[in-house]
Structure 1
Amino acid sequence: MHYVVVHKNLMAAIGEILGDVVTPEIAGAWSEAVLFLAKVFIDKEEAIYKKIEEREGGWSGFAEFEVSKIKDMTADGLVKQVSFKPPAGSPLEGKNFDFTAGQYISLQIDIDGDGRTAPRHYTCTSPVGADFLQCTIKKVEGGTMSNYVHEHLREGHRVTLAAPLGIFTAPETPTPAVLMSAGIGITPMVNLQRSLGENVRLVVNVCRSEEGHPYKEFFDEAGAETLYKYTSSTGRPTADDLAEETIARAGTDNDFYVCGPALWMNDLQKALVSKGARLVRCEVFGSQLATGCPFFASSS
């Protein structure tokens, strides 16, 4: 349906900007090209959704889940880990959920009870193949969903979820990796660590304080070398300094996985590439195009 809206508004914009230059023949050619491109996207999306539905524990659209556990992940109480299981009688009851490490689920809640919902995307932090799904949510000032989760969501409540999706994932054949995050950007690194295992050479996290550092214990026990920067005590490192220290410890011949605030990622990606990083992969919590930070960047 959204492609119909795109077509309508794009054609209107072309007519408004180009004016009399747009003859019926030109308008027809533009319309045909836009509709052709839309068909390509629609077919590709359908193939992706079909693949998701067919994997173990897969489904189409949104499915009902029950909140099975809520756990505080930081001493300051600003990060909660929320686990979900299918309710009794669900077609998904008893299933194990297959997905790719680094992907996210879409959470949908009727917050105001008026039937209107807006999904929010949160990284899956449950292990791949577990019989539950899980995400980890930081309370954000002014954030409608995050504040509702922290203040009102309780175990036993019902929500709807869309199946895991996303491209911030490791290659099928693991390569040496460095996991770099800031704040809640640490969440995709949890399953990347599980997936990549001994291939992870270094885990880097920039956080306000140790009290607000989620998954610290998990990474301390995972075995990889760690580099933590707590800005409340040492100040915020520049992208150039962080890239230099990271490469001094781990070298350049790695896949660098980066997730955090958009401007921080943009600067860090440029700094890593300028120092010879083989490949830098970024995950943006929001619009990728708005950040200027590409999904992939390489020094080669």
Structure 2
Amino acid sequence: MSQPVINEDTLDTVKATAAVLEERGTEITSHFYKRMFHNHPELLNIFNQTNQKIGRQPEALANTVLAAAKNIDQLETLLPVVKNIAHKHRSLQIKPEHYPIVGENLLAAMQEVLGEAATDEVITAWEEAYNVIADVFISVEKEMYQEAEEQDGGWEGFRTFTVVKKVPESDVITSFYLRPADGGSLPLFEPGQYITIKADIPGEDYLHLRQYSLSDAPNRAYFRISVKREEGGGQAPDGIVSTFLHRHMNEGDSLELTAPAGDFYLQEGSRPVVLISGGVGLTPLMSMFNTLAEDPSRPVTFIQTAQSRNLHALHEYTSHVADINPHVSYHVCYDTWTEAEEKDPYVQKEGYLDAEWLQSLKLDKEADYYFCGPLPFLRALNRILKKELHIPADRLHFEFFGPAADIEE
């Protein structure tokens, strides 16, 4: 990404506002979303309203805006963040015409929240900076749209798929096997990528878009997603889409999907691989695991953690793959277990995953490590791998579900 030309005064003004954004960024972005949805309710067909209600989306946007302010004079350093967000935008069908709407309401929110501190100079500088950043996103996303459409089996927009098989994998996770309704071919994808589904749920005012990892290897005759039924608790609502899929989506029904996307995927190479999952975080790693299981030249270790056996998906399958493949190692950790789990050779730890147990597994320090799960799990594991197992940062690859957050504790 070449560095766009931005006026020197604009650079100074935007960087000078970084401290204000750090202090009041989430307040600004929360107001921005309310304002934008009031003015453009049609965008409620795109944005995840659950993330809005629990505050994850405003916080994620605030962090992105803050990063842009701090690095406005060297935007190339933000390229990994840009590409990560651009993948999500392409999957959600964010188009160039959406950017002026976002810009108008974001700048207005800054003025309304900051009051006199948002001088004409500040707003003018941010308008110029926003337009430059928007152009970067639009350019990156244009290439992604073209690639998704032009690849063999690819398509543009949403494509109708049929549920050909529905398989319960645990008390809370069910797999859906999907084939194109038009009988056409499927594109290859990178193991670890996701698709977006569009759910038109009876009784809901707007469409709901959700991104789900593809949980099987590429080059199959189907796509598979393994969906956890999200149960609310406290102030969090039940998962609208996951509940709909579990209770109402059956074999023979149709779903609309966008083409696979995402920048968390298995890298090519010959290094051994260690996969570590927390709960439903196993879904993108299962795609990587199934790919690696077919390649005996590349050893793979799969470590899965779950609260208990009844909540653990695909255990029998993974055990079978480990049984018949010498290059595959498999280890399971449950928060709590019963006498039945004590007899399972692959269930080896009760309690939380910790450094002592990981060290006892004699993991390859030269391997690439991929991990996925809830944010607290990722933060703890990231610290263990870096500080106690001394795995270099460039060997660590991770993803968490939902808007981006800081993995460093």
TM-score, structure 2 normalization: 0.64
User: 2:60 matched to which residue of 1?
Assistant: none
Amino acid at match of 1:47: E
**Amino acid in structure 2 at the alignment position of 1:19:** E
User: Is 2:341 the counterpart of 1:227?
Assistant: no
1:123 corresponds to which of 213, 232, 237: 213
Q: Contact conserved, 2:217 with 2:288, CA < 8 A, in 1?
A: no
Return the letter of the residue paired with 1:207.
A
Going from structure 1 to structure 2, the CA distance change for 1:202 and 1:127 (only over 3 Å counts) comes to closer
2:399 aligned residue: 283
Percent pairwise identity = 28
CA distance in structure 2 between the aligned counterparts of 1:174 and 1:120, rounded to whole angstroms = 34
Residue 381 of structure 2 is aligned to residue 268 of structure 1: yes
1:36-84 Cα offsets, whole Å, 9 max, x none, are 110110110111121111122211111111111111223xx42211011
Unpaired segments ≥5 residues, structure 1: 295-300
Q: Does the residue aligned with 1:101 lie in a helix, a strand or coil?
A: coil
- Cα distance, 1:280–1:243 mapped onto 2, change above 3 Å: farther
Q: Which position in structure 2 is the counterpart of 1:259?
A: 372
Is 1:94 the counterpart of 2:184 in the alignment?
yes
Matched, 1:236 2:372: no
Residue aligning to 1:298: none
- Larger strand percent: 1
Alignment of 1:64-213 (within 5 A): 64-74=160-170, 77-87=171-181, 90=182, 93-112=183-202, 116-141=206-231, 142-196=238-292, 197-198=295-296, 199-213=298-312
Letter in 1 for 2:351: R
Q: 1:240 to 1:149 in 2, by over 3 A?
A: same
1:116-163, Cα deviation, whole Å (9 max, x unpaired): 211111111233122221101122211111111111111111111111
Q: Which of 144, 165, 180 does residue 48 from structure 1 map onto?
A: 144
CA distance in 2, matches of 1:232, 1:115: 41
Distance 1:20 1:80 in 2: 51
- Structure 1: 4+ residue segments shifted above 3 A: 13-16, 26-29, 238-245
Q: Which has the higher helix share?
A: 2
TM-score (norm 1): 0.86
Q: Contact conserved, 1:243 with 1:271, CA < 8 A, in 2? A: no
> What is the SS of the residue equivalent to 2:258?
strand
Change (3 A) 1:20 1:203: closer
Q: Matched residues in 2 for 1:23 and 1:285: separation?
A: 38
Q: CA RMSD in A?
A: 2.2
2:164 and 2:143 map into 1 onto residues whose CA distance is: 32
Residue 22 of structure 1 corresponds to which residue in structure 2?
119
Q: Deviations over 1:227-268 (max 9, x none)?
A: 1112222642244345434xx421322111111111111111
Aligned residues: 283
Where does structure 2 lack aligned partners over 5 or more consecutive residues?
1-96, 232-237, 338-348
Tell me which amino acid in the other structure corresponds to 1:206: T
